[in-house]
Amino acid sequence: MRIDIWSDVVCPWCSIGKKRLDRALADFEHADDVEVVYHSYQLDPAAPSEPTERARDMLARKYRMSEAQAAQAQDRVTALAAEEGMYWRHDETWHVSTVDAHRLLHLALAEAGPQVQSQLKEALWQAHFGEARNVADPVVLTELAVGVGLDADRVAVVLGSDEFADAVEADIRRAAALGATGVPFFVVDEKYGISGAQPVELFAQALERAWSERSPLQMVTPGAAGDADGADGACGPDGCAI
C-alpha cells in the first residue's frame, strides 16, 4: 500500500500531520507493507533564498496582524507540536524558499528510495522548526542531505543546477489536479484523500478502509476462441514461447 504526501518544509501542520499519521501507522497491522512517498508543495514560491525576515514578522505583515497576534497564532501550533513530542523554536523560524530542499527530496527518492527521502524530510522539519536554521542555505542543505546518506558530489551537482526543478513543478501541478488547495495532503493507495493534520483516528480509519478494499491484480486473458497472431508470446527464465 502506498501513501503519497504533499507537504512543505516550512508548513507546521505538515509536520504535525505526519506525526499523527505515524501514530496511526504504529497501530496498523500492515504498516510494514506501507510505502510513504513525499511530493513537493511550496506555500510561498516567491519566498526569498536569503533569510531576511522571520516567519512571524512575515505573518504579521502579510495578514496585518499585530506582533502579539502573530506570536499567539504560532504559539498555538507550537503547543500542538509539543503534544506530538516536537519542541519548536517557531518564533525564530525564517521565511525562506524551499525549492532547493524539495529538489534534494526528489534526489533522495530517485537515488536512495522512499525511506531515505522520509529521513531527509524529518531532518528538514527539525532544522527549520526545531533549530530555526535556514533551510534555503546550501551549506545547511548539504549537511542534512549527506547526513541521511546522500552522495556529497551528487548533492553539490543538484544544488549547483536546476536538476529536479521540473519534478517539483510537476508535483505541484498534480496536487492541484487532485483538488488539493493546501497541505498536508495525503493520498492513500491513490484512492482516499485526507486534507490537513487530521486526528490520528481518521488516519487509522483511512488505512483500514484502503487495506480492506485492496484487490489482487486481475489478469486479462484472451477468450476461448484464442488468437493465431502470436497471442501469449512471452519470455521467461526458461526461454521464449515461440
Pairing of strands 239-240, 2-7: unpaired
Rounded to a whole number of angstroms, the minimum distance from the CB of residue 105 to its own copies is: 13
- 73: contact with its own copies by CB under 8 A: yes
Give, in order, the Cα–Cα distances in Å from 3 to each of 12, 93, 146, 193, 223: 19, 28, 25, 10, 36
- 215: contact with its own copies by CB under 8 A: yes
Instruction: Give the three-state DSSP class for 186.
Output: strand
Q: Take residue 227 and report the three cell numbers written for it.
A: 488468437
Largest CA distance in the chain: 78
How many of the other CB atoms lie within 10 Å of CB of 113? 12
Q: Which residues pair with 194 in a beta bridge?
A: 186
Rounded to a whole number of angstroms, the minimum distance from the CB of residue 134 to its own copies is: 19
User: Closest CB to its own copies among 11 and 123?
Assistant: 11
Pairing of strands 185-188, 192-195: antiparallel
Rounded to a whole number of angstroms, the minimum distance from the CB of residue 224 to its own copies is: 13
Contact (CB, 8 A) for 222 and 232:
yes
- 118: contact with its own copies by CB under 8 A: no
DSSP class of residue 136 equals: T
User: Closest CB to its own copies among 37 and 178?
Assistant: 178
- 206: contact with its own copies by CB under 8 A: yes
Interface residue with its own copies among 66, 212, 220, 224 (CB under 8 A) is 220
User: Closest CB to its own copies among 42 and 141?
Assistant: 42
- 68: contact with its own copies by CB under 8 A: no
Count of alpha carbons within 13 angstroms of residue 194, beta-carbon side: 28
DSSP class of residue 161 equals: S
Residues 242 and 195: their CA atoms lie apart, in Å, by 52
Interface residue with its own copies among 59, 120, 135, 144 (CB under 8 A) is 59
Interface residue with its own copies among 29, 160, 224, 232 (CB under 8 A) is 232
Q: Which of residues 127-186 bind its own copies (CB under 8 A)?
A: 163-164, 166, 178-179, 181-185
- 194: contact with its own copies by CB under 8 A: yes
How many of the other CB atoms lie within 10 Å of CB of 82? 11
List interacting residues with its own copies (CB under 8 A). 8, 11-14, 16-17, 43-44, 59, 62-63, 73-74, 76-77, 80, 110-111, 113, 163-164, 166, 178-179, 181-185, 187-188, 190-199, 202, 205-206, 209, 215, 217-222, 227, 229-237, 239-242
